[in-house]
A and B are shown apart, each in its own frame.
Chain A
């Protein structure tokens, strides 16, 4: 079953700028995919397309069973409840505690207190943050903040987790811990899509790699490397 099905999708802005150009991508449920490419290649736009942060100006996009080409504005929040999203800047609310930040994702979807308590505790356990539930984001390290952000992303038990540069602000050791956590979540059945610049992690994990260059899918390997060192000649043309 396809978790993500993109057919000839493009994102073009006014003024003739093309962020994505006629992209085809199919990701099956349970896969772990790295999206790699140079800065400005279109990785983040591709991820935005997946959580409907951007709408495709052409083509067909289906994610977690929802047709995003025809989805109404009122249905977008309901669709996003099927996703977990993680950002490079963590996206935590600075005036809420760790526990409140995670619970927030449940409460906005209308979950009751008892359910929230149980799920938040389970998510904190999974990311190894049960020891700091009352800390605010400013009181914990970057790596811990990213763990909390991941806990918030998985607390709804979504079938798809999207992470945009989740290790961009972290040192190599902490980055490795975050990727191992994402891998663990994937092994439990969640489809994981990670956009990254971190060649060490991509090379070590040996997962599916989708390379985006100049708004096109330049390479799609089932067990790939980061690839840009040995393939520095990528121009995107003809891929």
Chain B
């Protein structure tokens, strides 16, 4: 294809958009609205996942308390065996003196009422992943295998609930995002089909004067691409602005259930993703509608 032909096609694409101003605004607006909903749901899924992934980290700990009469050396000897348990990460020995010191600094009133240090030596175990907490805690409660251990505490039930919740959020979130993606595709497809339908006379004339099908398609593809990308750009602004407002609101809540998790989903990533989706649905939507219409003539 000659450079002048490429320029002509680009000009035709631009003129199509300009001359069909109202139709272009309608198409662009539709893309912007649907992509805003898609973008907002994607951003929400990212953030909820990030927070849900972060929560279990505070629950991947097990506290193992020694029998009070156990000698310090015997307690220290246990570390090697604890470390050898599968899926155990870091094992930290907490002496009864250290535990008392920590408790005194945290709960001064309570400790003042106590005549002496009632705490035994203990270990704090961090599992490699939160989902192994229950399994490891159960193994350590076996008195025959670990006679040195008096008591084991973990957040088993809470961890299971949190993980189930995180999984549920992930599945629902991605499901909703996938459904919205398909809905966006169909809406854009229909909108662009309307613009192609409005151009049927022009397409017929182009066919009769000997234009190849690609020569007919390219300006319409440019138009679809423009609607997709411009709509996505508008949607990106709305989503980023909304995300900022929501983040500011959540920051003010200060709930222990919503930890301060820095977002990995940067504005650049969200923008790029939405614009890519916009470009894809714009091109694919116009390609499908043109193909269908070219066959009809």
Nearest B-chain residue to A91, judged by Cβ: B205
Name the interface residues of B203-238: CB closer than 8 Å to any CB of A: 204-213, 215
A78, B209: Cα distance in complex, Å: 9
Contact bitstring B72-93, A, C-beta under 8 A = 1, else 0: 0000000000000000000000
Stretch from A100-108, A173-181, A204-212, A214-222 contacting the other chain? A100-108
CB distance from A103 to the nearest CB of B (A): 9
Question: Which residues of chain A come closer than 8 Å to B206, judged between CB atoms?
Answer: 104, 108
Could you tell me if A108 and B211 are in contact, using CB atoms closer than 8 angstroms? yes
Q: Say yes or no: A51-B208 contact (C-beta < 8 A), given A110-B1, A112-B4.
A: yes
Question: Which residues of chain B come closer than 8 Å to A80, judged between CB atoms?
Answer: 207-210
A136, B2: Cα distance in complex, Å: 28
**With an 8 A cutoff between CB atoms, is B276 at the interface?**
no
Question: Which residues of chain A come closer than 8 Å to B8, judged between CB atoms?
Answer: 107
Could you tell me if B4 and A78 are in contact, using CB atoms closer than 8 angstroms? no
Could you tell me if A152 and B2 are in contact, using CB atoms closer than 8 angstroms? no
Could you tell me if B5 and A78 are in contact, using CB atoms closer than 8 angstroms? no
A109, B1: Cα distance in complex, Å: 10
**With an 8 A cutoff between CB atoms, is A93 at the interface?**
yes
**What band does the interface of chain B fall in when counting residues whose beta carbon is under 8 Å from A?**
10 to 19
**With an 8 A cutoff between CB atoms, is A141 at the interface?**
no
In the complex, which of the residues B4, B201, B210 contacts A108, with contact meaning CB atoms closer than 8 Å? Answer: B210
Question: Which residues of chain A come closer than 8 Å to B215, judged between CB atoms?
Answer: 77, 108
Nearest A-chain residue to B16, judged by Cβ: A95
CB distance from B77 to the nearest CB of A (A): 83
Question: Which residues of chain B come closer than 8 Å to A79, judged between CB atoms?
Answer: 210
A residues contacting the other copy or chain, number (CB 8 A): 23
Nearest A-chain residue to B215, judged by Cβ: A108
**With an 8 A cutoff between CB atoms, is B202 at the interface?**
yes
CB distance from B157 to the nearest CB of A (A): 67
A77, B209: Cα distance in complex, Å: 8
Q: Say yes or no: A78-B19 contact (C-beta < 8 A), given A107-B5, A108-B215, A113-B4.
A: no
Nearest A-chain residue to B3, judged by Cβ: A112
Question: Which residues of chain B come closer than 8 Å to A74, judged between CB atoms?
Answer: 212
Instruction: Point out which of A83, A105, A156 has the most chain B C-beta atoms below 10 A from its C-beta.
Output: A105
Could you tell me if B2 and A112 are in contact, using CB atoms closer than 8 angstroms? yes
A95, B198: Cα distance in complex, Å: 13
Question: Which residues of chain A come closer than 8 Å to B201, judged between CB atoms?
Answer: 91, 93
**With an 8 A cutoff between CB atoms, is A163 at the interface?**
no
A79, B209: Cα distance in complex, Å: 10
Question: Which residues of chain B come closer than 8 Å to A110, judged between CB atoms?
Answer: 1-2, 5
**With an 8 A cutoff between CB atoms, is A35 at the interface?**
no
CB distance from B203 to the nearest CB of A (A): 11
Contact bitstring B7-18, A, C-beta under 8 A = 1, else 0: 010000000000
Q: Say yes or no: A108-B209 contact (C-beta < 8 A), given A93-B202, A95-B19, A113-B4.
A: yes
Instruction: Point out which of B1, B207, B210 has the most chain A C-beta atoms below 10 A from its C-beta.
Output: B210
**With an 8 A cutoff between CB atoms, is A119 at the interface?**
no
**With an 8 A cutoff between CB atoms, is A120 at the interface?**
no
Question: Which residues of chain A come closer than 8 Å to B213, judged between CB atoms?
Answer: 77
CB distance from B215 to the nearest CB of A (A): 5
Could you tell me if B210 and A109 are in contact, using CB atoms closer than 8 angstroms? yes
Could you tell me if A77 and B211 are in contact, using CB atoms closer than 8 angstroms? yes
**With an 8 A cutoff between CB atoms, is A43 at the interface?**
no
**With an 8 A cutoff between CB atoms, is A81 at the interface?**
yes
Can you list 28 residue pairs at the A/B interface with Cβ under 8 Å?
Answer: A51-B208, A53-B208, A77-B211, A77-B212, A77-B213, A78-B210, A79-B210, A80-B207, A80-B210, A81-B210, A85-B208, A85-B209, A91-B208, A93-B201, A93-B202, A93-B205, A104-B209, A105-B210, A107-B5, A107-B8, A108-B215, A109-B209, A109-B211, A110-B1, A112-B2, A112-B4, A113-B4, A152-B209
